[in-house]
Structure formats: C-alpha cells, structure tokens
Amino acid sequence: MVKPITFLDLPAQQKRLGQRVQKRVEHVFQHCRFVMGPEVTELEERLASYGGARHAIGVSSGTDALLMVLMAEGIGPGMAVFLPAFTYTATAEVVLLLGAFPVFVDVDEGSFQISIASLTQRLSDVQQQGQYQPRAIIGVDLFGQPAPWEELRAFAQKHDLLLFADCAQSFGASYQGHKLGHEALATTLSFFPSKPLGAYGDGGAVLTDDDDRAALYRSLRSHGEGKQRYDVQRIGLNARLDTLQAAILLAKMEIFEEELVRRAKIADLYDAGLPTGIKVPQRVPDSQSAWAIYCITLPTSQQRDSLQSYLREHAVPTAIYYPKPLHYQPAYQAQHDGVSLPVSESLGECVLALPIHPDISDEQGEQLLEIIQQWAENNQL
C-alpha cells in the first residue's frame, strides 16, 4: 500500500539529513553565541556564493528583509511602490508600514508572474492621478519561478524606478542560466519552514552586489548601529538572524540541490499525468523553477472546489494560494483606486496547489494523478 501523501514532510527530510542538523546545533550550544554567532557569517557566505551576489545579510524573516531594503532607500509617505496583486501580504504590508502607497499590478494568467502590460498601465494611472511619486517596483518570484526580470529591469531603468526582488518562494530557481540572487538592487529571501530552503522557525536574508547598501543593511538589522554597538547612526530594527536557525540552514544546504532536482521531477510527473482539462503552471522562458508551490488552474470555481473536496475525501491535502488578491483584502481596500485587475481577481477562484516536496515518491505522485483522473472522468472534464 502506498504511504499517504503529505503537503509538507519535514520528518522525512530530517531522516534524510541524518546527524547533520544535530551536529550543527550542538556546535552552537558549545560556543553559546546565540546571536550573530559564526554560523550566521558562514551561512551568509554560502548564500552569497550560491546566489551569485557579492553580499548576503542574514535577518530575522523575509518580511523584515523586505522592510529593511525599503527603509534603506527612504521609501515613505508620498511615494508609490508597484507590486503584484496576486501574492502574499508581506510584500504589500511593508510598504504601508513605511507610510508609502502600494500600487497593485495584475499578473500573467499562465505563469502567475507580474504583467509588464499591467505595470505600464498602472504607472500611467499613478502619473495621471498625480497624488504619489512613482518610486519603486517589487518584483515577486512567485511559487518558485522567476519574475520577468529582463523586462522589469528595462522598465525600471526607463522610468527611473528602484527595483527590488522578493524571492521568498524561489531561492534555488534559475533565470537565464544563473541562480536567482542579483536581478535587482536587492533580493530578499525567506527561510520559513515551508520554503524550498526552510529553517525550523523564521529567518530571511538580503542579497546585494552593492557594498554601501550591504553595510547599510547590516546596520539596519541591528538597531541602526555603527561600527560599535552603542554608536547609533540611524533608526533600525531588531532583525538579526538567529544563530540556531543559521546552523540548521547550513545543514540543509548540503542537500538543497538534490531536493531541487526531486521537486522538478515531481513537477514533470504532474505535467505529464494531469488531465488535459486542468491547466498546469506555464513555465517562465529560459528558467528553472524551485517549485515551492505547484499550482494548477481549473476552468471554474465550482470545479476547483469539487476537486479539492474529492482529494480531501481521498486523504490528499491541497491549499489555495491565494483565495483573494491583495486589493480585495480588507487591509488594502482603502489603498486601491478601484481599477479592475481581472487576472488576479479570477485566479483566486480557480487555483489549487498540489503537494510538491522532495519526499514525494513516484508511486505517491502516480496515485495522486490516478485520483485526479478519476475525478475528471466522473465530472466529464
């Protein structure tokens, strides 16, 4: 009998890791430098090398990473920051926390990435309204795939906008032959446990090629301190990466590449075996996904709900990322100008995320596909 499939299987990952995590954690307990210990520096060096960036700065979460990079540029009241409407709330909430104005942009219905056509229109909207100064773009590498960075860079340069990368879900992905990590002024990472490279708690990082920005980020994560602890140069945050989490991430980096390969194999299995009436994720050209999330699209909301219920009855967990676009969320409705973003608005009704992680066996994947095929036949899809 095939073992039931799980949406995330950290116990299985721990078994594959063997003693790696334990040895790393024991070393932390030996030196007792629980804040900014040597593992943080070691991890930063590994992350920078992996992402092809000059610097990596470990921080307390992906959200704090986003907040820091905006703080560093003086983003605040009177400024507009453009970001996709179809993403997690953290991308928008940091903009509002700084008093700036989030401008929601529609996405591509196949890849779920930010739409350049919609971005062009939204910039025109803001310019015509004349209330906010266009200042920055946050591109989001959603679900494991890269945003259209070549077009985003050209757009940002043409319109004199700062460009940041929210790579919370996609560290490990590749774009135009290299790993994500230096597509923008700064790239923010999240190590939330469900991410492809996940800690056993919160954690994040910022990657950048800019020496001055790297120094500023290091100051901001530690209460704005200068060269000495009690030399307070600016208003900052308490946003340091925990040494224990750094140790855990160092252990996990040893198997990270093999896990990415396995995620890609499961995605290919799904692609080949899903019924033709179900839309599989469209690949971003010249890229390789980290497959944090494998999100299918059903023709109607009723069919999505029916399939989710059928899978639940057969002990297959699923999730909906995201049931509402950000401009439909109560927290952001006052910040939206009422412009329709039709793709983002329709996706929430029809998307469904299937389990995808390195510990799904071929047999489990094939069994899941058989269940979906049965549902499709029963519903004449």
**What average pLDDT does this structure show over 269-276?**
97
Residues of the chain within CATH 3.40.640.10 domain(s) are 10-253
Q: Is 230 left (phi over 0), alpha (psi -120 to 50) or beta?
A: alpha
Label residue 1 by pLDDT band (50, 70, 90): low
Q: Please write the tens of the pLDDT for every residue from 278-315.
A: 999 999 999 999 999 999 999 999 999 999 999 999 99
Label residue 3 by pLDDT band (50, 70, 90): confident
User: Is 136:79 a contact under the CB 8 Å cutoff?
Assistant: yes
Label residue 228 by pLDDT band (50, 70, 90): confident
Q: Please write the tens of the pLDDT for every residue from 186-223.
A: 999 999 999 999 999 999 999 999 999 999 999 999 99
**What average pLDDT does this structure show over 231-255?**
97
Tell whether the model's pLDDT for residue 227 goes beyond 90. Answer: no
Tell whether the model's pLDDT for residue 233 goes beyond 70. Answer: yes
Amino acid 65: pLDDT: 98
Amino acid 316: pLDDT: 97
Q: Which residues pair with 222 in a beta bridge?
A: 238
Percent of the chain residues past pLDDT 90, beyond the cut? 97
The CATH architecture that domain 10-253 belongs to is 3-Layer(aba) Sandwich (3.40)
Q: Please write the tens of the pLDDT for every residue from 311-369.
A: 999 999 999 999 999 999 999 999 999 999 999 999 999 999 999 999 999 999 999 99
Q: Please write the tens of the pLDDT for every residue from 86-124.
A: 999 999 999 999 999 999 999 999 999 999 999 999 999
Q: Which residues pair with 179 in a beta bridge?
A: 174
The topology under which CATH files domain 256-378 is: Aspartate Aminotransferase, domain 1 (3.90.1150)
**What average pLDDT does this structure show over 12-34?**
97
Residues 134 and 118: their CA atoms lie apart, in Å, by 15
Amino acid 319: pLDDT: 98
Tell whether the model's pLDDT for residue 234 goes beyond 80. Answer: yes
Amino acid 377: pLDDT: 96
Amino acid 153: pLDDT: 98
Is pTM beyond 0.75? Reply is: yes
Place of tokens 């795939």: 145
User: Is 75:95 a contact under the CB 8 Å cutoff?
Assistant: yes
Residues of the chain within CATH 3.90.1150.10 domain(s) are 256-378
Three-class DSSP labels, the chain? CCCCCCCCCHHHHHHHHCCHHHHHHHHHHHHCCCECCHHHHHHHHHHHHHHCCCEEEEECCHHHHHHHHHHHCCCCCCEEEEEECCCCCHHHHHHHHCCCEEEEECECCCCCCECHHHHHHHHHHHHHHCCCEEEEEEEECHHHCCCCHHHHHHHHHHCCCEEEEECCCCCCCEECCEECCCCCCEEEEECCCCCCCCCCCCCEEEEECCHHHHHHHHHHHECCECCCCCCECCCCCECECEHHHHHHHHHHHCCHHHHHHHHHHHHHHHHHHCCCCCECCCCCCCEECCCCCEEEECCCHHHHHHHHHHHHHCCCCCECCCCCCHHHCCCCHHHCCCCCCHHHHHHHHHEEEECCCCCCCHHHHHHHHHHHHHHHHHCCC
Tokens of 117: 């056509």
**What average pLDDT does this structure show over 245-249?**
98
Q: Which residues pair with 79 in a beta bridge?
A: 133
Q: Please write the tens of the pLDDT for every residue from 163-179.
A: 999 999 999 999 999 99
Q: What is the mean pLDDT of the chain?
A: 97
Half-sphere exposure of 310 (CA within 13 A, CB side): 20
Amino acid 43: pLDDT: 98
